[in-house]
A = this chain, B = another copy of it.
Amino acid sequence: MAENNTIDLEMGAGGEKSNELISKIRKNFKVHGKWKNTADDGAVYDLGKEKLVFTTDAFIIDPLFFPGGDIGKIAICGTINDLAVMGAVPIGISLSLVIEEGFSQSNLEKIMQSINIISKITNVPIVTGDTKVTEKGKIDKIEITTSGIGIADKIIENGGARPGDIVISSGDLGEHAVALLATRFNYKTKIKSDCQPIIKEIQSIRNYLTSAKDPTRGGIAEVLNEIAEKSKIKIILEEKNLPFKKETVALSELLGIDKFAFPSEGRFVGTVPQKYAQKALKTLQKFNKEAKIIGRVERGKGLYLSTNLGSQKLIEMPRGKLIPRIC
């Protein structure tokens, strides 16, 4: 890194400049010890027959409370879902809090209660934690870092998609972005954040999935580009099957923010061999009737949209400061 350079927001927004920053940070670390590197959202350890998966996520969002959730819900769901998309069943979450002096105790309790509700629903316990309080101005209200460990029989990797697979989405996408952007810009909508745990959904079709990822920062533009790159294949999405609600498309156009980069916090996209496509779809629709086959995998590279007019349009890895920090 150059002497006079500073970190800018684009480096944290998901997309290309984020990946550059993360690569620079990673370059500092050689692999010491027994662990073998993994490129996805978590580290993997062999425990005899099973695998242990270990992951972490930091959350500093504005607003703290939004339609459909709050920073606590998003923090625990984010870490649970990172484990889930790798095929793991979470067995414990650590909760690290940095709280600004003067923060309301009742808001803190509300946040802890929403964490507890997700912990209860998923049967994933909060097993350890840390709490720091800082002087006014050292942090904006509250920052939460959740780490998680989980157990998997078999890891679902991002690099496993194969030509002939179909691309499936567990539901309508981008609604976390809609809920938060609407709150920020005082835009009226009935759409709530999709923030929720997705362990059961993934486990239900785990044996069919050749790749899976939760489209948080950078949306499907980022994660499907990542799957395409790691799997060395081409993904083609069908415009007529796009998993966006009308209101999501409208807000995207109004704000001039690409809907493909809209984060979701309770969805996943993945690839499944053609022969299991209908079975996987029907299984997912039991959880969410908006689950859809949204595209297919071919030989080649990159992420494309097959438009209603019959042309193919490249969907690039997101660039620039996409949207305000909402996940």
Contacts and interface: CB of A to CB of B under 8 A. Distances in A.
Size bracket, chain A contacts: 35 or more
Given A116-B28, A139-B140, A145-B145, A98 B60 contact: yes
Interface string A97-123: 111111111101100110110011011
Contacts of A277: none
Contacts of A255: none
B132 A60 contact: yes
Interface stretch (A9-17, A158-166, A188-196, A296-304): A9-17
Interface string A67-111: 000000000000000000000000110111111111111101100
Interface stretch (A39-47, A226-234, A258-266, A279-287): A39-47
Given A12-B133, A104-B6, A135-B9, A96 B32 contact: no
Contact of A139 (B30, B52, B102, B143): B143
Contacts of A5: 104-106
A171 to B, nearest CB: 24
A314 interface: no
Given A143-B139, A145-B145, A127 B57 contact: no
Contacts of A58: 96-98, 130-132, 143, 145
A320 interface: no
A120 to B, nearest CB: 6
Contacts of A125: 29, 31-33, 35
Given A105-B7, A135-B9, A113 B28 contact: yes
Nearest to A29: B126
Interface stretch (A18-26, A200-208, A244-252): A18-26
A137 B135 contact: no
Contact of A101 (B8, B45, B128, B143): B8
A115 B29 contact: yes
Interface string A45-69: 1010000101111111010000000
Given A9-B101, A123-B32, A96 B1 contact: no
A272 B132 CA distance: 31
B98 A143 contact: yes
Given A35-B92, A98-B143, 5 more contacts: A12-B134, A33-B125, A54-B127, A59-B132, A130-B145
